[in-house]
Amino acid sequence: MTKQESFDRVLSKKDVLALAFGAMIGWGWVVMAGSWIETAGTLGAIIAFIMGGIMVLFVGLTYAELTSAMPKCGGEHVFSLRALGTNASFICTWAIILGYVSVVAFEAVAFPTVLEYLVPGYIQGKMYTVAGYDVYFTWVLVGMISSIAITVINYFGVKPAAFLQGVLTLIIGAVGLSFFGGAVVNGDSANITTLFSDGNKGVLAVAVMTPFMYVGFDVIPQAAEEINLPFKKIGQILVLSVVMAVIWYVMIIYGVSLAMDSSALAASKLATADAMKAVFFDSPLASKIMVIAGIGGIITSWNSFFVGGSRAIYSMADSKMLPEFLGKLHPKYKTPVNAVLLIGILSTLAPLLGRKMLVWLVDAGGFTIVISYLIVSISFIVLRYKEPDMPRPYKVRKGVLVGSVAVLLSGLCIFLYLPGAPSALVSYEWAIVTGWFVLGAVFYTWSKMSYVEFGKHAEEEALG
């Protein structure tokens, strides 16, 4: 890649932290906090998120070291390529791309759905039904327009996207802290009547959801070539973002538990918003403020995964593993323009599929994200033995032990998606996973046939 074709290093410390932390605190905590507490109990849900956070933290430590050592666009793609070669790298990156695309597509559905809490009755004009879900014209229109807006922001450079991310993350953080403060002062510990619900089974049922809640720190290595920081600092921020996310989820669960008793939780459709209302003297305005913060979370998650997904696609195309036109950088804005447009098109069309199909897509994407985590963790250990003298500005202590735990935990997490496990994928979700990897096999075969030196460009860069 020539200097003129390279990315601009424009992301500051605040930008990077906002990208990662903002991705991890999307909309889920507003919608699902009540369900987590009902499923596992207050202490059970907190333990579940700490367990999930520990798993993600071990994986995050491997990412931190590898990102500081190889600060190139593509993250997982570069790590696995250098450690394990083109075959494993293709599987790893293709897996994470489905995860990114699934989140981006789902946010295009979540945004118009959540808007109804602020503008009741705006959904009009039934068009058709998909998997039992009625699709309305105004709902689709809002999803499409918002998707186009996010695409435009990402088209014109990573800095505008990061600025939006920073502003919204600050707003979400302020609202969340206000809620927690209100819950501590005005809540009642007597509301916490159930510390554990359904014992270990309840804890595991919530724990298996947590990796998807924590997805987002991996956006940092995807945009590594656009970060203007010392390489050691990049690793430190990555780990900090994971720790902050764990604290955030524990804080929200405890706050909701203080604000609402079990009967109120069971009756609530949006527990965190109702909890906000309860701790601020039954104010409907407080509830709406929480919903607005949740909408901000949708946008921060949407924006971060847009950045991550487009960079992952670009890196594969730059390695000749995907069609070459997807590896084009905009000459002025230094964005992977065609990769951005591709994700933008998929996101804009997503509302047409309805909400149920997108839930299946997200579940399938969660499974493939964990596959990618496993391959990165293995790459971490392999490179410790294969290249012990490789410069590592952020070097994890007891690296082989940390990497082994990361492999074990991510492997166990994969097991939880398999048939018979608590969060086993349903047949439609397995069909999505299978179809995605069949499509990947087609691209992989086409790339090998089209390029004599398949993957060599990326291998040279990874080793350079």
Give tens-digit pLDDT for 354-409.
887 777 888 888 899 999 999 999 999 999 999 999 999 999 999 999 999 999 99
pTM of the model: 0.90
Give percent of the chain above pLDDT 70. 95
Burial degree of 408 (CB within 10 A; 0-12, 13-18, 19+): middle
Phi-psi category of residue 304: left, alpha or beta, with phi > 0 → left and psi -120 to 50 → alpha: alpha
Best CA proximity match to 417, nearest among 353, 366, 344 = 366
Report residue 279's pLDDT band, with 50, 70 and 90 as the boundaries.
very high
Please provide the average confidence, as pLDDT, over all residues in the chain: 89
How confident is the model at residue 456, as a pLDDT? 53
pLDDT at 412 over 70: yes
Q: From the CB of residue 297, how many other CB atoms can be counted at a distance below 10 Å?
A: 29
Longest dimension (CA), the chain: 69
- Collect contacts of 158-164 with beta carbons under 8 A, ≥24 apart: 158/7, 158/8, 158/10, 158/11, 158/223, 158/226, 158/307, 158/334, 158/335, 159/10, 159/11, 159/15, 161/303, 161/306, 161/307, 162/10, 162/11, 162/15, 162/18, 162/19, 163/15, 164/299, 164/303
How confident is the model at residue 462, as a pLDDT? 52
What is the arithmetic mean of pLDDT over 204-209? 82
How confident is the model at residue 135, as a pLDDT? 93
How confident is the model at residue 181, as a pLDDT? 95
pLDDT at 305 over 70: yes
pLDDT at 178 over 60: yes
Q: Which two tokens stand for residue 455?
A: 């993957």
Report residue 4's pLDDT band, with 50, 70 and 90 as the boundaries.
very low
Best CA proximity match to 73, nearest among 458, 463, 460 = 458
Report residue 1's pLDDT band, with 50, 70 and 90 as the boundaries.
very low
Report residue 3's pLDDT band, with 50, 70 and 90 as the boundaries.
very low
**Alpha-carbon dihedral 11, 14, 16, 21, rounded to 10 degrees:** -160
CA 42 to chain centre: 25
What is the arithmetic mean of pLDDT over 155-163? 89
Report residue 315's pLDDT band, with 50, 70 and 90 as the boundaries.
very high
What is the arithmetic mean of pLDDT over 109-127? 90
What is the arithmetic mean of pLDDT over 256-269? 90
How confident is the model at residue 186, as a pLDDT? 93
Spatial separation of the C-alpha atoms in residues 319 and 82, rounded to whole Å: 12
What digits encode the pLDDT tens for the residues 317-363? 988 888 889 999 999 999 999 999 999 999 999 999 888 777 788 88
How confident is the model at residue 464, as a pLDDT? 54
What digits encode the pLDDT tens for the residues 208-260? 778 778 888 889 898 889 999 998 899 999 999 999 999 999 999 999 999 99
Spatial separation of the C-alpha atoms in residues 380 and 367, rounded to whole Å: 20
pLDDT at 99 over 50: yes
Give percent of the chain above pLDDT 90. 59
pLDDT at 192 over 80: yes
Best CA proximity match to 147, nearest among 335, 365, 308, 349 = 349
Report residue 30's pLDDT band, with 50, 70 and 90 as the boundaries.
confident
How confident is the model at residue 2, as a pLDDT? 41
How confident is the model at residue 310, as a pLDDT? 95
The mean-pLDDT minimum among 198-207, 264-273, 278-287 falls in 198-207
Spatial separation of the C-alpha atoms in residues 307 and 26, rounded to whole Å: 15
How confident is the model at residue 357, as a pLDDT? 77
